[in-house]
Chains A and B, each alone.
Chain A
Amino acid sequence: MTTLSTPTRPAVSGRRTTAPGKRPRVGTALTYLSLIVASLVVLVPLAVVFLTSLKTSREVTDGGAMSLPRDWLNFSNYATAFNDGKMLTAFGNTAFILFFSITGTVLIGSMTAYAIDRFDFRLKRTVMALFLIATLVPGVTTQVATFQVVNSFGLFDTHWAPILLYMGTDIVSIYIFLQFIRSIPTSLDEAARLDGANTFTIYRKIILPLLKPAIATVVIVKGITTYNDFYIPFLYMPSEDKGTISTALFRFKGPFGAHWENISAGAILVILPTLLLFLFLQRYIYNGFAQGATK
């Protein structure tokens, strides 16, 4: 915390406003130094794994962790990881789960928000309280019993277990929709109703299209968290052919043993889609996660 004060200690000369050049050199240098150190802390572990993924098995055992690969275009580890690690199936399974759970979350969330915001009905407060209290129950704690529920439906070891769980326990999205639907004027609903539209048509033709920004947020946040989730697929889909990205990568631990070049390639393969998405959608991702966490 003490470093916080370093940028501009001379409080007296503060009147000369913010021109960066006028700051004391040392303070600025220290600020940049801290940023660079932090960036290195973030990037070095990742970079080393990337380097390892390009090395041959000999290079990994003989050379140090920080040594450079001899052939920068040695992608054979990626091929091994992709084929032997069943990554294609894993990406397919993940895509399947992503598609249904995201569509479901959007529908569930927007319908709930629509019902709560646009209607007055008895027990409305009870319903809201049910959703609110549920946010306090962390999903990890209840899995012991949730497992029995899922099992009793015969959904254990099917794709539908994670899909239903992702859909049914996402209250944060409901809040994002609720927040947003309030800014859509009710006069639009009423105009449509006068034109003879029923509530379902209003929801589908007016509310849903206007919720697009909120939908984008939910899709991004939900997409990334579902893609990265390990706990639920690990508990509910133990068979190898139902592995998602996370569980398939986790299985690298066994057969690849100490073959760090293959494990590294697998890890990079999993990180790469996230990195690309982040580079293209940075702004939405920051906003989405900020919204998601604070609701």
Chain B
Amino acid sequence: MTHTTSTAPPASHEPPPAAAARRRTKRRTGPARSWRDHPLRRITPWLFLLAPLALLVTFTYVPVANMIYYSFTDWDGVSPDRNFTGVENYTQLFTRPELFRVFFVSFYYLAASAVQIVIALYFATVLSFDLRFRNLFKGILFFPYLINGVAIGFVFLYFFQDGGTLDSILSWFGVGGDHAWLGDPESANTSLAGVSVWRFTGLNFVLFLGAIQSIPGELYEAAQLDGAGRWQQFRHIIAPSIKPVLSLSVILAISGSLAVFEIPYIMTGGATDTSTFVIQTVKLAFQFNKTGLASASAVVLLLIILLVTWIQRRIVPDDKVDLV
């Protein structure tokens, strides 16, 4: 968080003395004095920031403030009058089991993210060594991340259909019987979480691969001269150097699994207990016109995500994530 505010750009690849010199020239000689004292000089940055700040405030800060306000009312989103109801919405959220249940669905996706990170780590390590068709494999593994979510939803609806792709493949291996994959809550949530692994592993993989490939080759050579095996190389060279990216992936995984929307909404519409936090919030707000309750639910989600981010920052204090 802090590294971006400091003056010395930590990410620039130029040698530090040059950077320092550059800063100094900027400070000392700078533009002509008349320009420095010119009143225009004081407003110019604000002219450039006018539009960006207006958009930022209108579409991020105003909504957050409004959302907190709505969450204490019983507003339906349309009518002009709204009543202040205190923490009523929050009490409902935590006491009505059918509203609370969506939290548990997140655990499926959380587990999926763990699987996803392990798979990505494995393939990133494997493909960081010289292999035949390396680029082809890299491309194949990454491509799902680029595919349109709705298309993925349809691809896997067909995949999980009765007598669909999955059933056909399983029957080749002698595992017979059509199974309604999206039929019962447990199997449906597992299947949907599986789709999310399929979709997002590629991003984690490319992030890890980038981090691994930025390790200078001499390190491996030195390690090999010292007799280190592949596993020891992974343990002592690769693992430490991808720690920042790994911690970033974990945080993205946690906030991502709380904010799942597309895949379950497209595939099941939230039926058979596959509704997630965001699906429920969208339904509350836009189908049942319970803006107050939906806002409370969104505030809770926001707080959880902020909490997770904060914890991560405490555990991994300001590790700079610089890949490219």
- Tell me the A residues contacting B by CB distance below 8 Å: 1, 3-5, 7-12, 14-15, 17-18, 20, 31-32, 34-35, 38-39, 41-46, 48-49, 52, 64-66, 107-109, 111-112, 114-116, 118-119, 121, 124-125, 127-132, 134, 136-138, 140-149, 164-165, 167-169, 171, 174-175, 178-179, 182-183, 185-187, 190, 193-194, 199, 203, 224, 227-228, 230-231, 235, 245-247, 249-250, 252, 260, 263-264, 266-267, 270-271, 274-275, 278, 282, 285-287, 289-291, 293-295
| B151 touching A168, Cβ below 8 Å | no
Contacts A14-B229, A148-B66 given; indicate if A140 touches B278 (C-beta within 8 A).
yes
Q: How far is the CA of A164 from the CA of B126 in the complex (A)?
A: 42
| A111 touching B4, Cβ below 8 Å | no
Contacts of A178 in B (CB 8 A): 4
Least Cβ–Cβ distance between A147 and chain B, in angstroms: 7
Q: How far is the CA of A67 from the CA of B209 in the complex (A)?
A: 37
Contacts of B291 in A (CB 8 A): 144, 148
Contacts of A115 in B (CB 8 A): 44-46, 48-49
Query: What are 25 A-to-B residue pairs whose CB atoms are below 8 Å?
Result: A7-B129, A10-B229, A15-B225, A18-B130, A18-B224, A20-B130, A31-B131, A34-B123, A35-B126, A42-B144, A65-B161, A108-B52, A118-B45, A121-B46, A128-B4, A138-B255, A141-B302, A142-B60, A145-B62, A146-B63, A148-B63, A148-B77, A182-B9, A190-B29, A270-B148
Q: How far is the CA of A25 from the CA of B119 in the complex (A)?
A: 23
Contacts A140-B278, A142-B60 given; indicate if A186 touches B298 (C-beta within 8 A).
no
Contacts A42-B140, A138-B302 given; indicate if A249 touches B56 (C-beta within 8 A).
no
Q: How far is the CA of A187 from the CA of B57 in the complex (A)?
A: 33
| B154 touching A49, Cβ below 8 Å | yes
Closest to B11 in A: A179
Contacts A35-B123, A108-B55, A111-B49 given; indicate if A235 touches B143 (C-beta within 8 A).
no
| B148 touching A228, Cβ below 8 Å | yes
What per-residue 1/0 map shows which CB atoms of B249-293 lie under 8 Å from chain A?
000100100010110001000000000001001100110000100
Q: How far is the CA of A107 from the CA of B64 in the complex (A)?
A: 25
Cβ-based interface call for B137 (8 A): yes
Least Cβ–Cβ distance between A103 and chain B, in angstroms: 13
Closest to B5 in A: A128
| A169 touching B59, Cβ below 8 Å | yes
| A125 touching B5, Cβ below 8 Å | yes
**Total count of chain B residues near the partner, CB < 8 A:** 120
| B48 touching A112, Cβ below 8 Å | yes
Closest to A178 in B: B4
Q: How far is the CA of A145 from the CA of B157 in the complex (A)?
A: 32
Least Cβ–Cβ distance between B160 and chain A, in angstroms: 10
Q: How far is the CA of A286 from the CA of B150 in the complex (A)?
A: 22
Contacts of B154 in A (CB 8 A): 49, 249, 252, 263-264, 266-267
Listed residue (A8, A231, A290) with the most chain B CB atoms within 10 angstroms of its CB: A290
Least Cβ–Cβ distance between B123 and chain A, in angstroms: 7
| B52 touching A65, Cβ below 8 Å | no
Option from A66, A264, A278 in Cβ contact (under 8 Å) with B143: A278
| B148 touching A246, Cβ below 8 Å | yes
Q: How far is the CA of A144 from the CA of B297 in the complex (A)?
A: 10
Contacts of B127 in A (CB 8 A): 35
Cβ-based interface call for B91 (8 A): no
Q: How far is the CA of A167 from the CA of B305 in the complex (A)?
A: 23
Q: How far is the CA of A69 from the CA of B184 in the complex (A)?
A: 32
Q: Shortest 7 CB-CB distances between A and B: which pairs?
A: A11-B229, A168-B55, A145-B67, A115-B48, A119-B45, A145-B63, A5-B231
Contacts A111-B51, A164-B59 given; indicate if A7 touches B126 (C-beta within 8 A).
yes
Contacts A31-B126, A289-B206 given; indicate if A144 touches B229 (C-beta within 8 A).
no
What per-residue 1/0 map shows which CB atoms of B204-245 lie under 8 Å from chain A?
001100100000000001001101111110100000000001
Listed residue (B158, B248, B295, B321) with the most chain A CB atoms within 10 angstroms of its CB: B158
Contacts of A230 in B (CB 8 A): 148-150, 262, 266
Cβ-based interface call for B164 (8 A): yes
Option from B11, B145, B165 in Cβ contact (under 8 Å) with A289: B145
| A42 touching B295, Cβ below 8 Å | no
Contacts A18-B130, A190-B30 given; indicate if A49 touches B155 (C-beta within 8 A).
yes
| B53 touching A127, Cβ below 8 Å | yes
Cβ-based interface call for B61 (8 A): yes
Option from B1, B29, B58, B155 in Cβ contact (under 8 Å) with A46: B155
Contacts of B139 in A (CB 8 A): 278, 282
| B148 touching A127, Cβ below 8 Å | no
| B56 touching A168, Cβ below 8 Å | yes
Least Cβ–Cβ distance between A202 and chain B, in angstroms: 10
Closest to B296 in A: A144
Contacts A42-B140, A178-B4 given; indicate if A246 touches B158 (C-beta within 8 A).
no
Contacts of B203 in A (CB 8 A): 289, 293
What per-residue 1/0 map shows which CB atoms of B120-148 lie under 8 Å from chain A?
01110111011110010111111111111
| A228 touching B149, Cβ below 8 Å | yes
Cβ-based interface call for B185 (8 A): no
| B42 touching A121, Cβ below 8 Å | yes
Contacts of A52 in B (CB 8 A): 158
Contacts of B87 in A (CB 8 A): none
Cβ-based interface call for B191 (8 A): no
| A42 touching B122, Cβ below 8 Å | no
Q: How far is the CA of A14 from the CA of B223 in the complex (A)?
A: 9
Contacts A11-B228, A138-B255, A144-B291 given; indicate if A65 touches B302 (C-beta within 8 A).
no
Contacts of A116 in B (CB 8 A): 45, 49
